Amino acid sequence: MPQPEAKLVPFPKASASQIASGARRPRDPRLDVFRGLALVMIFINHVPGNPFEDYTNRNFGFSDAAESFFVLSGMAAGLAYSGRFMAAQRESSGLWSAVRPMWARAWTLYMTQILLTAWAIAIFSAGALWFGVPEMVTKINLTRVFGQTAEALVGLPTLGHQLGYVNILPAYSVLLITAPIAILVGLRSPGLMMALSVGFWFLTGLYRWNLPAFPNPGGWFFNPLAWQVLFVAGLMTGLSKRQGKQFIPYKPILFWGCIVFLLFVLAWMKIPPLGTTMNKMMLIMGRAGAPFHLVAHDKTFVSLPRMLHIMALAYVLSHARIVLTLCAQNWTRPLALMGRQGLLVFASGTLMSLSAQVIMTAMDKPEWLGWTLPPLGIALMILIAWIAEAISGRPKSPGGVASAPQEPSPKAEPPASKTTSAT
């Protein structure tokens, strides 16, 4: 059982001058390690039919790598960008100097999304042309691309049409564009910003608000109007830490209550009689008139069970002493390396996972291939991250942790966690 610690350990504690100036500080290894771990789980989950799928986090709780992605993205953005919004920085450089890096990052994510989408179409088309699997052009929402090409060519660049496994970056781009408002409000009162975010999440689910899809009916699978609640939670955490504070301080009753909840969810998922009973209770409450996003496991609107699970998990991991100890070990360095090069590794992993899907389908998913492709892909992701870091010449702190900001202005990247409705 993880042991609590009285406070979230700062890396390092900010001085008044650092807070005022937005100065850079050594990275917290926990954020990089968890981002790297999320990348590993994404890649594994995006190669369906491999035996490692049974051991990713989605098998042990309501939330999965997607929720982790948004919380970690918010933390990274809060740590990297909030310093420019401090009063002293705004007075000396102006508000636009704070907003511009975030919007530039959103543009980078958009361009990455377009590149990944184009390659996803190419990879699955190659599978149909050269690997004898014509059904590939009907998967991952490609039917519209080949059946309604004109409409799809409008939907793809305008983000109205998103492919499976390549559909998380659009929501994150939208949230980065709106994040300056959240930071400005959060600097005055993080609690108020979080309350506004939760209220907007509730109304979004209640009235089924979403951004429109095109040419398909409906809306975005990763609905940014709902997923913002996780991003804002991370953003306020990163912002508070940047100021040397804790957004949600350690409280024994809350810490152990979260552990009990996580264990209960695990039992819910692994003990069939309990799971059946709880699901029936949720169904009864839904039929009695409870809002669907409070009593369902819906992903698009971040249903309450999913949200509570990732929040409880984040709270426990941030206050458990053993987590800090583990993240400082040498064997976690490959994970931290991938976390520091998150966007590049995420993009590379996405293309490799899509290629692996084509290969496995063409070969009728032999068991040996399921055991081989994921470890090979993970090794290549580590190699890509190592090459990128070597090229960048990123300076190291004494502990071996890069000293650039969590999501640097132009080089660091958001965590990459999951990219598809299939995860």
Instruction: Express each pLDDT in 305-316 by its tens digit.
Output: 999 999 999 999
Distant-in-sequence, close-in-space partners of 174: CB < 8 Å, separation ≥ 6: 106, 211, 224
241 close to 79: Cβ distance less than 8 angstroms? yes
Q: Which tokens belong to 152?
A: 């799809």
Residue 252 confidence (pLDDT) above 80: yes
Distant-in-sequence, close-in-space partners of 227: CB < 8 Å, separation ≥ 6: 70, 171, 175, 302
**pLDDT (0 to 100) of residue 132:** 87
Question: Average pLDDT, whole number, for the chain?
Answer: 87
What is the share, in percent, of the chain residues with pLDDT greater than 70? 87
Q: Which of 3-7, 127-131, 200-204, 361-365 has the lowest mean pLDDT?
A: 3-7
3-state secondary structure (DSSP) of residue 320: strand
CA 79 to CA 236: how far, in whole Å?
9
pLDDT per position as a tens digit, 70-114: 999 999 999 999 999 999 899 899 999 999 999 999 999 999 999
Q: What's the start-to-end Cα distance of the chain, in Å?
A: 28
Residue 418 confidence (pLDDT) above 50: no
Q: Which tokens belong to 121?
A: 């179409």
Distant-in-sequence, close-in-space partners of 2: CB < 8 Å, separation ≥ 6: 259, 316, 320, 321, 322, 323
Residue 23 confidence (pLDDT) above 90: no
**pLDDT (0 to 100) of residue 66:** 87
Average pLDDT over residues 2-14: 42
Residue 379 confidence (pLDDT) above 50: yes
**pLDDT (0 to 100) of residue 278:** 96
pLDDT per position as a tens digit, 130-150: 998 999 999 999 999 999 999
Categorize the per-residue pLDDT at 4 as very low, low, confident or very high, splitting at 50, 70 and 90.
very low
Which CA distances in Å does 302 have to 91, 115, 125, 159, 208? 38, 27, 33, 20, 12
Of 389, 371, 346, the residue nearest 68 (C-alpha): 346
CA 71 to CA 311: how far, in whole Å?
9
Categorize the per-residue pLDDT at 358 as very low, low, confident or very high, splitting at 50, 70 and 90.
very high
Categorize the per-residue pLDDT at 423 as very low, low, confident or very high, splitting at 50, 70 and 90.
very low
Distant-in-sequence, close-in-space partners of 78: CB < 8 Å, separation ≥ 6: 183, 234, 235, 236, 237, 238, 239, 240, 241, 242
Distant-in-sequence, close-in-space partners of 67: CB < 8 Å, separation ≥ 6: 230, 302, 306, 307, 309, 310, 417
Beta partners for residue 396, in sequence order: 402
Which CA distances in Å does 131 have to 33, 258, 354, 361? 37, 49, 14, 9
Of 85, 87, 107, the residue nearest 177 (C-alpha): 107
Indicate the pTM of the whole model: 0.86
* Angle separating helix axes 333-340 and 367-392, nearest 10 degrees: 70
pLDDT per position as a tens digit, 161-189: 999 999 999 999 999 999 999 999 999 99
Q: Which tokens belong to 252?
A: 């024994």
Q: Which tokens belong to 353?
A: 């996972």
**pLDDT (0 to 100) of residue 403:** 35
pLDDT per position as a tens digit, 259-304: 999 999 999 999 999 999 999 999 999 999 999 999 999 999 999 9
CA 370 to CA 174: how far, in whole Å?
35
The count of C-alpha atoms lying within 13 angstroms of the C-alpha of 14, restricted to the half-sphere facing its C-beta, is: 23
Average pLDDT over residues 211-237: 96
**pLDDT (0 to 100) of residue 410:** 34
pLDDT per position as a tens digit, 66-80: 899 899 999 999 999
Q: Which tokens belong to 107?
A: 């543009």
pLDDT per position as a tens digit, 321-346: 899 889 989 999 999 999 999 999 99
Residue 152 confidence (pLDDT) above 80: yes
